[in-house]
Amino acid sequence: MKLTIPRDIYDGMIEHCRNDYPNEACGFLGGTDGEAKVLYPLPNAAASPIYYRPGDKEMIAAINDIDERDMELVSIFHSHVASPPNPSPTDKREAHYPDAVYVIVSLMDMDNPLTKGWLIKKADWRDETGEVIEVDLVIS
Amino acid sequence: MSVKVNIPAVLRSAVGGSKSVEGESGQLRDLLSGIGEQYPALKEQVFGPDGGLHKFVNVYINDEDVRYLEGLDTKVADGDTVAILPAVAGGSRRA
């Protein structure tokens, strides 16, 4: 399993994460067939360095745009400002999109962000626990 | 006129693959229950065991989260757009 992210979209995602520092940043990637095509930077309504929740209006607009363009929500991304890019207990519990790659951007080293992708598969999407599978990120 | 209810990808298999379904205006509870009669698998996933909205299901009426309106008692008018979305959240918080 892999997710391809074009360089310009990747750079835009990193820039959005840096801009929201010291709080966590979040957003969506729309795309098809495991390739991101559109970046949707979203505001973090929680405005927190340890938690994110996208703003409702912007999130719904992004979901609608993805639908109208016949794309899929290929990724939900967010930043960790002081920890590695691995899913935290909160990330795992609150992941309810089994087909989206949860991309985490670590800004522990602001000049050299570290990015990883994860699928969080649950028997029922509403479950609080599930299996975490790393996804190769291909920056093209 | 009726009410358009947008269905998220994870729930589309419960409504035959549609991106949206139509329902009747009125209380949100009745709108969702009415749609749920036609699509029982949708109803099963949207409602929690206590009959309220499942805690990881968010419902919006014209982009407003119904939890900040009147919940399932919120009135939905003809022409309104309802969106059902699994909750999106997370972060490095450890618990």
Write down the residue that tokens 């067939």 correspond to: A33
pLDDT score at B94: 80
pLDDT at A16 over 80: yes
Residues 6 or more apart in contact with residue A9 via CB below 8 angstroms: A29, A36, A37, A38, A39
Distance CA A80, CA A33 (A): 27
Q: Which domain holds residue A26?
A: 2-139
Distance CA A13, CA A71 (A): 18
Q: What is the pLDDT of residues B35-81, one digit of tens each?
A: 999 999 999 999 999 999 999 999 999 999 999 999 999 999 999 99
0.90 surpassed by pTM: yes
Residue from A28, A68, A94, A103 whose CB has the most chain B CBs within 10 Å, to mutate: A94
pLDDT score at A130: 94
Residues B89-93: what's their mean pLDDT?
95
Closest residue by Cα to residue A38 from A19, A2, A64, A57: A64
Distance CA A59, CA A57 (A): 5
User: What average pLDDT is seen over chain B?
Assistant: 95
Q: Per the structure, how many domains does chain A have?
A: 1
Q: Which of 3.40.120.10, 3.10.20.30, 3.40.50.620, 3.20.20.140 would CATH assign to domain B3-86?
A: 3.10.20.30
Question: Which CATH number covers residue A68?
Answer: 3.40.140.10
For A90, other C-beta atoms within 10 Å of its C-beta total 18
Closest residue by Cα to residue A117 from A20, A35, A32: A35
Residue from A96, A104, A125 whose CB has the most chain B CBs within 10 Å, to mutate: A96
Closest residue by Cα to residue A44 from A22, A66, A73, A63: A22
Contact residues, chain A, for B91 at CB < 8 Å = 24, 46, 48, 50-52, 78, 80, 88, 90-91
Q: What is the pLDDT of residues A76-134, one digit of tens each?
A: 999 999 999 999 999 999 999 999 999 999 999 999 999 999 999 999 999 999 999 99
Question: What residue segments make up the domains of chain B, in order of their start?
Answer: 3-86
Distance CA B29, CA B74 (A): 8
| Torsion angles phi and psi, residue B44, rounded to 5 | -60, -35
Encoded tokens for A86: 């691995």
pLDDT at B1 over 90: no
Encoded tokens for A45: 């309504």
